[in-house]
Structure 1
Amino acid sequence: MFTGGAKEGDEDCPTLRAVKARPRLRPTHRTPYKPADYEPFALAAVMRRLDTVEFGRPRDDPARVRPSHPGLERYAEHAAAQYLDAVKSLDPRGELLPDPQYWVKQSRTAAEGQGTSTVYELRVWGRCYASRDRAVCELRLLRFGSVQPGRRGPAERDPAEVAMAAYVAAHGGRAPEPTRWGDAHDVHSAVTPQRVRVVEIGCLDGSVRPPLFDGTPQEAEAAYHKLAAPRLRATVDAVDRRPGPGCATCKLAASCPDLARTPGILQIADGARPRRTLSVTDLRRHANCPAQEHLRRIHLPYDKDVEHDHHVVRGHAVHAWLQHLHARTPQRPCTPDDAPADRSDWAVDDWHLTGDDAELGARLIARHAAVCPLRHADPDAALVAERLLTFHDTQADVVLVAKPDLLYRSGGSVVWREVKSTKYRTPRGGKDILELYPQAALAVVLLADGALGGDVRRSRVEVEILRPTGPDLELVSPRQADRVATARQVLHDLAAPWHADRTSAPNPGTQCARCEVSRWCPAAPSSSASSSLQ
C-alpha cells in the first residue's frame, strides 16, 4: 500500500481503498485490460523526468508506461525544472543523495500448516534522499501547484499520510520495483537513520514549505501508531461501498451491487474504450476544446481567476446562499427578506461579493422566493443538495457522475432542480433549454429511465433561471416522448465525440483567451504563469 492509502476523502469509496490495498486481488467478473490513451497520473511524468536527471533513465518499466499528452509533457518539463531549483534551497551543499531504490516497510505473517504467509507492505511515493551514512533520510512529496500559504488550495496533506510516510522512511528497507505489478518487493534492510524529514515541494513555482515532519525514528513510529495505523486498519477491513468517480478504476465495479446500471443512456454501443468517469462539465469542456478537457481531467494547475471570474463567483455565492436557506431547520420556504441584509458587501462559505456583484446577487436571491421549491416539497421529505450520483453505462463502459443542485419530492415523485443565475433580463440565443443546460438533459433521461426511483409519471426537471427582473422556471417532464428524445440526442451529440476521441487535440480559437489551462496547451505560445495558478 502506498502512503496515500492513509488519507481519505468524503467521497472516497471504502471498499475501493480496501481493494487497492490488495494489488493481487482478482475479481470473479474479469474485464479485459483496456489501457488509457495517455498517462492518467500527471506526476508520474514528472517523476520520470527527474529519474532521468538523477539516475540517467526512468525507473518505470517501459512496458507499463503510457505516452503523455503534449500538454502534460509541457507541464512535466516545467515542473521538473521548478523542483530541481527548489532542491538547491533545501540542500545547498548537496549532502543528501537521491536513492534509486524505493522505500518499503514489509512484514509477513507466519504461515500456518500448508498455508502461505501474508505479506504486508507500506511504500512511500515521492523522491527519496539520504546522506551517505544514512544518518538523515528525507522524503520529498510533490504537489501539482504551489505550497505557498494561501495558494495551496483546499487540500492539505492528511496528517495520517505524513505520519505513514515518516514511519516508512525511518523503519523501512530499500527495494527495486517488482517485475510484475502486485508482486511483493524484494526488500533489503537499511541503516536506521537518526533523523527523518518529510517535506513538500510545489511543482508549479518551486515553493517549499516548512517540513511536514522533522524528527527521530521513535517520533515517527509514535506518530504512525497514533495517526496512520488506525486509518490503515480501517482501510484494509472496509466493506462499505460509496459509488463515485473511483468506480472507473475499481476491479469490483462489474459486480458492485451499489453501482447503478444505466445501459445505453449515452446511446453509444462501444465498450472497447477504457472505462472513464464523465460529467456534464467534462462534456462541455470537450466540446469547447478536447485538450482543455484532458488537461483538467489529469488535474494540471489552472488559473483560478479565469475559472472563477466575477460572474462565476457571483453564481457560486448565490447558489451557496440558497443552499444554506434550504438546509434550515425547520424547513420553510424562502422569502425576499432572506436575502443578505447588506446588499453591497456579503459573503457565504468561500465566496465574497462586493459592489455591483453583491447588489445583483442579493437581488437574485430575493427573486428566488417566488419559485422556492419548499413551496411544493413534501413536508416530511428531505431536500438533498449537491449529492453525488453515480451511474454505469455498461454499453459505453462509462461511469457517469452528477451533482444535482437540488433533489426533492413532491407528491411522492422525484423532482430534480437546477438553479442558474444571470445578469441578463431576458433569454438570449433562442436555444432549447436542454441544449443550453445539458445537465437538465441528463436529468430528464435519468428520470425517464427510472434511475432515481419514485413515481416517474409525476417526476419532473425544473430549471430555475434567476434574472434581475424575476425568476423563470422551466419545467420538463420525463413523460413527454419528444422532450426525452431531445434530451437523449443532446447527451449523445456531446458524448459521442468525447468517447471516440483518442488524441485530445487542441481546438484553437477565440475561446483560448478564457482557457484556464492555456499555459500547458501545446498550441499556445510559452508564457509566464499567472499568479493565480494553483
Structure 2
Amino acid sequence: MAALDSVEFGEVELEEAVARAVSRTRSPLHAGAAAWVQHACLSYLKASAELERELKGIELRPERSPRVVQGTSPVEHRILTTWGRWYVSADGTVREFRRVRISRHSEAEAPSTLAAAFVVAAGRRAAGKVYRDLPIELFPEDSPAERIRVVEVLLGSDASPGVLIDAPPDEIERAYRERARPVAIDLVAGGSQLPGRDCGECKLRPGCGGLPRAPGLLGVSGRGTHPRTWSVTTGRLYELCPAQAHFQDLRLLGRRDGDNPAIRRGVAVHEWLRVAHGRPSAKACSLDDLPDPDSGDIGLADDLMTVAEYRSVRPFLLGHLQVCPLDDPALVTGVRPEPMMAVRDPDADVVVVAEPDLIRRVDGQVVYREQKTASRPLEVSGAEALRRFPQLALAVCLVAAGVFESTTVAEDTTIGGLVELEVMTPVSAAVLTFDASDPEVLATAREIVAGYAREWHRDTEFRATPGDWCAVCPAARWCPDKASTGGRTLVVDGMVIDVETGEVLEVRGTPSNRAAALAAEVSEPDAGHDDAFSY
C-alpha cells in the first residue's frame, strides 16, 4: 500500500516507489517477497487502467482517508471499516472501494462484501487514526453518493478485476441490514473458542484453554526464533524449496490458476463426501445417494458440481460405498467431516495445523481418516505409506498425544486410536489402517514428522532451491530465482509425475521426502495456500 500511495499521491515512478517501501520495513524483506511487491503493484496498476476504461469517461481520483461508520451507546463505541483503496469521482456521486486478493474473487453476496459496500455508502472519511483513535474524528460530509462500487483486484493472477457490487446507496444499505448486520452482531458478541490457522498469530495463544497442547509433537529441540505455524503442507513445501514455504507462510501463493484433472477430481470427491458424511443422521453412504447421471437427478451432487463432473467422479464414489466409515456394525459417534485442527507444541513454540478428512469414534475409540483418489491402486503399505503421505504420520502423532480427548492427557502418555488411509480408484477402494498405540508405528511417525519440521524450525533465511519443481510453483510468476523448466513429466528422486494430469506414473524405489512433496503439490488441492487478504 505504501508503494501505491507514492505512485497515486506523490507521482513517483513505480520502481522507485517500491524501492522506498521495501527499504522502510522493520526487518529486511526476503528477496522473493520484495519481488512480489513489485509484481503486485504492477498487477494493481494494470487493473486500475482496465477499470478506468470500463467506466467510460467517469474519472475517479484516489482518496487518502478510509471511510468508517461509528456509533456510541452508553456502554460501548463501535466502528465498522474496511481495508483497501478508496476512489471517488470529481462530483462525489460515484464512490469506489477496491480490495485486493491474491488469486480468487469473493462472492458478491458474501456478508463481508455487503459490509464493505455499506461502509462505502454510509461511511464518512476519517480525519483521525482509524486503528488508534476512539472515537475517530471525521471530515465533514461531502457530496451524497448516487453510485457505489466494490471491486476486487487480483494481485497474483491475470484475471480481470471483478466488480462485485455496482448499486445505489439505498439498495446497499437494505442488503447490509438484512444479510450482513446479523453476522456482524454475532462477530462482536463472540462465541466459543474454535482453534484454527489464526491461532499462530493470536497473542492469547500461550494461555488459551481452547487450544490443545502436545509438548514435543514436532520432535524438534528448542523454541526457535519466534512463534510459528506449521502444517504438513509447510513441511512439504520446505522440502521442495524453503523460499516457497516462506511465501506460503506470508500467504502470497494464493491458488493455482490451472488445476489439473487429479486436483479437480479430488476436490469434487471431497466435497461430496463432506456433505454425505455431514448429514444429521450420520447415515452411511449408499447406492441411493449416487443416482445414474443420466437420470435427471444427481442427488447430493446437485449443489456441488455439474452433471459432467458428477459423471467423472461417480465411479470413485461407488468404490467408496464398499469402505464408507459410517457403515460399521460397531457404535459410530462423534462424526466430524473435515474439522480444522490446531494444536500447540509449547516445546517448539509452534502451532500445528491439520485438516482431517473425517474424525469419528468407533466404540469410543478415535479414528482419523484421510481420503485420496487415484487412477489406479496405490501399491504402498506400512512405513512406506507414512512416508509417502506424511499427513498420516502427523495424524498418528496427534492421536497418540491425546489431542482428540475431552480431558487433559498426561505428558509421555500414549493414547490408543486408529489412523486410516482410504484410496478410491474408478474400480475399487481400499483402506490402510495404522494403530497409533503400536510402538513401531508411532516411532516411525515421529521420525517422519521431525524430519519435515527440524530444518524449517531453525531456518531464518529460507533460501530458494530452484529445480524442475519450479514448473508447478505458484510463485514462479514473480520469484527472482525460478528455474527454466519444460516438458510434461517431472522425474524427481525416482518418482515420475505427469504435470498435466497430476498422476504419479512411476515410483522407483522408496520415494524421498522431496519426491513425495512434489507429488502432493501436483495432485492435491491447495491445502494451506491461504490468501493474504482473505475477508
- Please tell me the TM-score bracket, short chain as reference: 0.7 to 0.9
Counterparts in 2 of 1:226 and 1:429: CA distance versus 1, 3 Å: closer
Q: 1:157 to 1:202 in 2, by over 3 A?
A: farther
Contact 2:105 2:152 (8 Å CA) reproduced: no
Structure 2 CA distance for aligned equivalents of residues 143 and 128 of structure 1: 12
Deviation per CA, 1:90-112: give whole Å up to 9, x if none: 556574322223333445567xx
Kindly indicate whether the alpha-carbon contact (under 8 Å) linking 1:368 and 1:466 is maintained by their aligned counterparts in 2: yes
Aligned with 1:379 (options 316, 323, 331):
331
Taking a change above 3 Å as real, the CA distance of residues 176 and 93 of structure 1, as seen in their structure-2 partners, is: farther
Report the counterpart of residue 42 of structure 1 in structure 2: none
> Aligned residue pairs: how many?
465
Report the equivalent of 2:437: 479
Question: Is residue 50 of structure 1 aligned with residue 4 of structure 2?
Answer: yes
Pair 1:121 & 2:73 matched: no
The aligned residue for residue 40 of structure 2 is: 76
Asked whether the 8 Å contact 1:124–1:165 carries over to 2, the reply is no
Match of 1:413 among 354, 361, 365: 365
Give the Cα separation in 2 of the matches to 1:397 and 1:158: 35
Q: CA deviation at 1:426?
A: 5.2
Q: CA deviation at 1:462?
A: 1.7
Give the match for residue 388 of structure 1.
340
How far is 1:265 from its partner? 0.5
More off after superposition, 512-521 vs 433-442:
512-521
Matched, 1:174 2:174: no
After superposition, the Cα gap between the structure-2 partners of 1:234 and 1:432, relative to the gap in structure 1 and judged at 3 Å, is same
Does the CA contact (< 8 Å) of 1:259 and 1:391 recur in 2?
yes
Q: Could you give the per-residue CA deviations for residues 262-314 of structure 1, whole angstroms, max 9, x where no partner exists? A: 12211234435443433222322222223333444414444342xx3112223
**% identity of equivalent residues:** 30
| d(CA) in 2 for partners of 1:290, 1:344 | 50
- Given candidates 133, 144, 147, the residue that maps to 2:101 is 144
Q: How does 1:17-36 map to 2 (within 5 A)?
A: none
C-alpha deviation, 1:336, in angstroms:
7.2
Corresponding residue number in structure 2 for 1:509? 467
Counterpart residue number, 2:488? none
Q: Which residue of 2 aligns with 1:101?
A: 65
Q: For 1:240-319, list aligned pairs within 5 A.
A: 240-297=192-249, 298-305=251-258, 308-319=259-270
TM-score normalised over the length of structure 2: 0.73
Q: TM-score, normalised by structure 1?
A: 0.73
Give the Cα separation in 1 of the matches to 2:69 and 2:484.
43
Cα deviation for residue 372 of structure 1 reads 3.3
Report which stretch shifted further, 283-292 or 461-470: 461-470
Q: CA deviation at 1:123?
A: 3.0
Q: Separation in 2 of the partners of 1:50 and 1:129?
A: 13
Q: Does 1:67 align with 2:18?
A: no
- Label 1:104 to 1:332 Cα distance change in 2 as closer, same or farther (>3 A): closer
Partner amino acid, structure 2, of 1:82: K
Equivalent residue number for residue 421 of structure 2: 463
Residue equivalent to 2:523 = none
Instruction: Name the CA distance, whole Å, in 2 between partners of 1:429 and 1:78.
Output: 48
The one of 456, 480, 490 equivalent to 1:498 is 456
CA distance in 1, matches of 2:391, 2:324: 20
- Code of the aligned partner of 1:78: L
CA distance in structure 2 between the partners assigned to 1:440 and 1:478 by the alignment = 10
Counterparts of 1:352 and 1:503, CA distance in 2: 45
- Deviations for 1:442-463, whole angstroms, at most 9, x for unmatched residues? 1111111111128976521122
- Could you say what the CA RMSD is over the residues aligned between the two structures, in angstroms? 4.1
Gaps of 5+ in 2: 486-525
Which residue pairs with 2:141 in the alignment? 191
The unaligned stretches of length 5 or more in structure 1 are 1-46, 111-116, 147-151, 528-532
Of 154-163 and 501-510, deviating more is 154-163
Match in the other structure for 1:26? none
C-alpha deviation, 1:414, in angstroms: 0.8
Say if 1:102 and 1:315 are closer, same or farther in 2 by CA, change over 3 A.
closer
**Structure 2: which amino acid aligns with 1:280?**
V
1:385-464 map, 5 Å? 385-425=337-377, 427=379, 432-453=384-405, 458-464=416-422
